[in-house]
Amino acid sequence: MSGSAKTTEGETVVVLDFGSQYTQLIVRRVRQLGVYCQILPHTASCEELLSLRPKALILSGSPGSAVGPAAADMDAAILESGLPVLGICYGMQILARMRGGVVQKARAREYGPAVLKVDGPNELFEGCGRTLDVWMSHGDFVAELPQGFSGLAHTSGTPIAAMGQAAAKQYGVQFHPEVEHTQKGIKILGNFLFRIAGCRGGWSMKDFIEDAVDQIRTQVGDQRVLCALSGGVDSAVTAALLNRAIGDRTVCVFVDNGLLRLGEAEQIRRLFREEHPLSFRSLDAADKFLLALRGVEDPEKKRKIIGEMFVQVFREEAARIGGAKFLAQGTLYPDVIESHSASGGPSATIKTHHNVGGLPDDLEFELVEPLRGLFKDEVRLLGRQLGLPEQMLKRQPFPGPGLAVRIIGAVTEDRLRVVREADARVQEELRDYDGFSDIWQSFAVLLPVKTVGGMGDDRTYATVVAVPVAMSTAAMTADWARLPPEFLERLSSRIINEVKGVNRVVYDISPKPPSTIEWE
């Protein structure tokens, strides 16, 4: 998806990413305010940035220090371009430094809640009152303002907690307005966008649909598109968008790779045959995938193999239907970011998501990825607007490499059986449990260890299953669900008693970061 939304006449805001874990959250907040927003790495040139015709620029935070020669910086010409700028945390420090101010290391890191006192009336804090609870996370601070800037707010530990130069429309805040813990954070961001940068807002999913349909039509012309259907939300929404754009020149292909959950292949076939009776094709390629994965333990190798196998199957299918130049898939924004490290920015590549990184270089298909700029909840919203059934939209995210990345170590038929049966118990138990509404994902992971147990009079030496139940809104961060002990007890007892080959269950109590949701 390009950055400019036709219906809002190119009203785009760019977040220059210095590697903060909150960068994506800033993007989401700006979009929630009705302004299309996208990320560029901090290394982007002024020319590259201006080619997106942005209305404003936000500088993100960073895990690094703004003090010293190694500090990540940006093209200085950007700050001379006349664009309204809001620097957040590190973004404020780098703005101060590049404009001639002084940034220093603080004696103690300020982390967590702080009380912000607004020093006087100004546009950034308009309508926010004089005292606000804000969220801080920094070790450096702006010790001297750049020329022409004024201090706008302070906390007890940070004398310059916000700064601005109204004439240049350049502002900085040391705290994080994008996180929920900051009172009036959305109001502050809104003030920057609408009062200072002159955005009009009004970007919505309807605009997105119109733009995406236009772009798909332009990209594919009168050609046919193979649409890779996994049965998950993303590929279903991609298929619906394609159908709207090019009708039955969309050929939806569902590949049963043998790595799906219990009963999933049948469920997908049933749902899609009803929804798209003309263009739905279902292929059984389980043997091929399992053969290719035999003995492979390394998670990244598994992903690559699965990516390659998918492409092989799609090539064969394209040949069978008389050729297709395009392959569509439901790649999301977080997939793009996590596979290639924040738009090429300084945060590390964590794992290669099959949708993006697992594809071979000699793909031969041109990719159509209309959801590349969206987050999961935006995709659900889009699906709803396109009229997809709730049953389809509410499905939990499921990784492209499927159960292969939930079996730690080699994938075998028997290990697939165990993880599938254990996963089914997790789903059944949670379906009947309404204690948490924001469970993002719940599943079973098969560990490559055996432990000793006793069943009846017999000693057992069997497998361990781990159960993660993650709460999240966009999977960029996640926390584990505080499920009650009675619930966990019942789940563990069901898995141990009902799934042959398991004698121990452990519950995953790791947040993301530093962990990830999937174990591989």
Q: Are 19 and 62 in contact (CB under 8 A)?
A: yes
For CA atoms 369, 373, 378, 384, the dihedral sign is negative
C-beta of 44 vs 475, nearer to ligand XMP: 475
C-beta of 211 vs 520, nearer to ligand XMP: 520
- Catalytic residue, chosen from 42, 138, 154, 176, is 176
265 binds ligand XMP per the rule CB under 6 A: no
- Catalytic residue at 42? no
Where is 500: in which H helix or E strand? none
C-beta of 172 vs 401, nearer to ligand XMP: 401
502, amino acid identity:
V
Cis peptide preceding 514, ω within 30 of 0: yes
C-beta of 256 vs 338, nearer to ligand XMP: 338
What residues form DSSP beta bridges with 39? Answer: 15
**Binding letters toward ligand XMP, positions 493-512, x by CB under 6 A:** -------------------x
303 binds ligand XMP per the rule CB under 6 A: yes
Please identify, among the stretches 22-30, 284-292, 378-386, 399-407, the one whose residues bind ligand XMP according to the rule CB under 6 A: 399-407
Q: What distance, in Å, lies between the first and last C-alpha atoms of the chain?
A: 29
372 binds ligand XMP per the rule CB under 6 A: no
**Binding letters toward ligand XMP, positions 400-429, x by CB under 6 A:** xx----------------------------
In the complex, the smallest distance separating the C-beta of residue 314 from ligand XMP, rounded to whole angstroms, is 16
Three-state secondary structure of 94-105: HHHHHCCCEEEE
Q: Among 42, 302, 351, 380, indicate the residue that binds ligand XMP (CB under 6 A).
A: 351
C-beta of 11 vs 518, nearer to ligand XMP: 518
Q: Which residues contact 46 (CB under 8 A, 6 or more apart)?
A: 75, 77, 78, 81
- With 0-12 / 13-18 / 19 or more C-beta atoms within 10 angstroms meaning exposed / middle / buried, residue 168 is middle
In the complex, the smallest distance separating the C-beta of residue 316 from ligand XMP, rounded to whole angstroms, is 22
Please identify, among the stretches 138-146, 395-403, 417-425, 487-495, the one whose residues bind ligand XMP according to the rule CB under 6 A: 395-403
- Catalytic residue, chosen from 11, 110, 178, 317, is 178
C-beta of 152 vs 306, nearer to ligand XMP: 306
Where is 366: in which H helix or E strand? strand 366-368
345, amino acid identity:
G
Distance of alpha carbon 98 from alpha carbon 57, whole angstroms: 15
- Catalytic residue at 300? no
**Binding letters toward ligand XMP, positions 352-371, x by CB under 6 A:** -xxx----------------
SS percent in the chain: helix, strand, coil, step 5:
35, 25, 40
The interaxial angle of helices 23-32 and 333-344, nearest 10 deg, is 130
Q: Are 128 and 188 in contact (CB under 8 A)?
A: yes
- The Cα-based distances of 479 to 189, 258, 382, 399, 483 in angstroms read 26, 30, 26, 18, 12
In the complex, the smallest distance separating the C-beta of residue 317 from ligand XMP, rounded to whole angstroms, is 20
- Catalytic residue at 354? no
Torsion on CA atoms 314, 317, 322, 324, rounded to nearest 10? -20
Q: Among 475, 481, 495, 499, indicate the residue that binds ligand XMP (CB under 6 A).
A: 475
In the complex, the smallest distance separating the C-beta of residue 466 from ligand XMP, rounded to whole angstroms, is 14
Please identify, among the stretches 77-85, 242-250, 312-320, 350-358, the one whose residues bind ligand XMP according to the rule CB under 6 A: 350-358
Residues in the chain: 520
- Catalytic residue, chosen from 11, 37, 42, 89, is 89
Instruction: Give the number of other Cβ atoms within 10 Å of residue 273's Cβ.
Output: 12
Please identify, among the stretches 183-191, 396-404, 428-436, 459-467, the one whose residues bind ligand XMP according to the rule CB under 6 A: 396-404
For the chain, how long is the longest CA-to-CA vector?
82
Residues forming contacts to ligand XMP in the complex (CB under 6 A) are 303, 338, 350-351, 353-355, 397, 399-401, 441, 475, 512, 516-518
- Active-site residues, by number, are 89, 176, 178
